[in-house]
Homo-oligomer: A and B are copies of this chain.
């Protein structure tokens, strides 16, 4: 959680804190952050897109975070290698995270054999089962339910109404947003006559370090073995990850993505919003899957695909532009056919 404070930070201190160099007036007092278009004379903003870099003189900002190769400009600048990361760090500076609770509330419910790191805070109305281990600076919000045998690393924040079922493992610096479900049963049934026999889902979920998972997303536990979200993965809201899925390091799943069971997704993959991936397929490292894509077959490393069913993105760009012309094409084909038949008739 973050709180609003009135802060005044001189520009040279900002530059120092975000690992950049300032140019201009280092004593300039900055009181906040704002977008390029609306920043006031006591606020700092950032520019990395060409459209902004060309118009630095148009900004009313008190200072601008720019890349080290930014064009000459007489105003106050902070030069950094990555202005967007610099912007993120300035946001952290002006909005320091505060711990919303203190210690372990007597109105939380904590099971036996709880192994707790230093400076952990557990809110009232949180539930922690038996044999649970959590690391340092753990923050557990109200309404969270953590099952027996769960192991959680350091600096983890779990927002309200999250459920983590038994025996799942969560790494360090993981953030689970409200309503997330980790370790729900995979959707596995054996057809048995006209009905279905439930296949017990006895595996777990392992979430590695630096993963962030968005509101109301669900990650199913494995049938056997584990569903595995690897280091650095970022998952948006309302995503479904089926049982026995592996999501590789630094992969991004945007809102509404659905991943079928036993599918393996490589590292540095980007799956855009509302795309659906079938079960039991493999997506190679570095692949990019466009919004609303439907992927039913494997994708090779580095491939960029779109469409449902998916095709190479560069083809999709031309394909979808033909869609609105289809009635005209159909009509034209009928016309050509008629003309040709006439011609052939005349010929014969």
Name A46's closest neighbour in chain B (CB-CB): B190
Task: Tell whether A12 is near chain B: CB-to-CB under 8 Å.
Answer: no
Given known contacts A273-B260, A274-B276, A326-B322, is B109 in contact with A142 (CB within 8 Å)?
A: yes
Task: Tell whether A30 is near chain B: CB-to-CB under 8 Å.
Answer: no
Find residues 40-74 in chain A having any chain B CB closer than 8 Å to their own CB.
none
Task: Tell whether A344 is near chain B: CB-to-CB under 8 Å.
Answer: yes
Given known contacts A163-B161, A187-B234, A187-B237, is B319 in contact with A216 (CB within 8 Å)?
A: no
Query: Is the pair B238, A190 in contact by a Cβ cutoff of 8 Å?
Result: no
Query: Is the pair A215, B181 in contact by a Cβ cutoff of 8 Å?
Result: yes
Q: How far is the CA of A330 from the CA of B331 in the complex (A)?
A: 12
Task: Tell whether A92 is near chain B: CB-to-CB under 8 Å.
Answer: yes
Name A92's closest neighbour in chain B (CB-CB): B200
Partner among B124, B167, B250, B291 whose Cβ is within 8 Å of the Cβ of A276: B291
Query: Is the pair A210, B224 in contact by a Cβ cutoff of 8 Å?
Result: no
Chain B: minimal CB distance from A239 (Å): 8
Query: Is the pair B190, A85 in contact by a Cβ cutoff of 8 Å?
Result: yes
Given known contacts A161-B163, A339-B344, is B210 in contact with A2 (CB within 8 Å)?
A: no
Find residues 133-177 in chain A having any chain B CB closer than 8 Å to their own CB.
141-145, 147-149, 159-163, 165-167, 175, 177
Residues of B within 8 A of A87 (CB): 190, 199
Task: Tell whether A13 is near chain B: CB-to-CB under 8 Å.
Answer: no
Task: Tell whether A31 is near chain B: CB-to-CB under 8 Å.
Answer: no
Task: Tell whether A278 is near chain B: CB-to-CB under 8 Å.
Answer: yes
Partner among B84, B95, B179, B337 whose Cβ is within 8 Å of the Cβ of A218: B179
- Render A304-344 as a binary contact track against B, CB cut-off 8 A, 1 for contact: 00011101000100111111111101101100110110011
Task: Tell whether A268 is near chain B: CB-to-CB under 8 Å.
Answer: yes
Q: How far is the CA of A94 from the CA of B224 in the complex (A)?
A: 12
Chain B: minimal CB distance from A289 (Å): 13
Q: How far is the CA of A338 from the CA of B278 in the complex (A)?
A: 39
Q: How far is the CA of A123 from the CA of B36 in the complex (A)?
A: 45
Given known contacts A34-B224, A82-B192, is B323 in contact with A319 (CB within 8 Å)?
A: yes
Query: Is the pair A237, B255 in contact by a Cβ cutoff of 8 Å?
Result: no
Chain B: minimal CB distance from A306 (Å): 10
Query: Is the pair A236, B323 in contact by a Cβ cutoff of 8 Å?
Result: no
Chain B: minimal CB distance from A174 (Å): 12
Chain B: minimal CB distance from A165 (Å): 7
Query: Is the pair B85, A197 in contact by a Cβ cutoff of 8 Å?
Result: yes
Residues of B within 8 A of A192 (CB): 82, 85
Residues of B within 8 A of A294 (CB): 274, 291-292
Task: Tell whether A122 is near chain B: CB-to-CB under 8 Å.
Answer: no
Chain B: minimal CB distance from A343 (Å): 7
Chain B: minimal CB distance from A331 (Å): 10
Residues of B within 8 A of A321 (CB): 327
What are 27 contact pairs spanning A and B, CB under 8 A?
A1-B148, A1-B165, A1-B166, A84-B199, A88-B197, A91-B199, A91-B200, A109-B142, A125-B125, A127-B142, A145-B160, A145-B161, A159-B165, A181-B237, A184-B215, A185-B214, A187-B214, A187-B234, A194-B250, A216-B216, A216-B217, A220-B237, A255-B258, A274-B274, A291-B294, A318-B327, A322-B330
7 cross-chain pairs, A with B, having the tightest CB-CB distances, nearest first: A145-B160, A84-B190, A163-B178, A127-B142, A215-B218, A184-B215, A181-B215
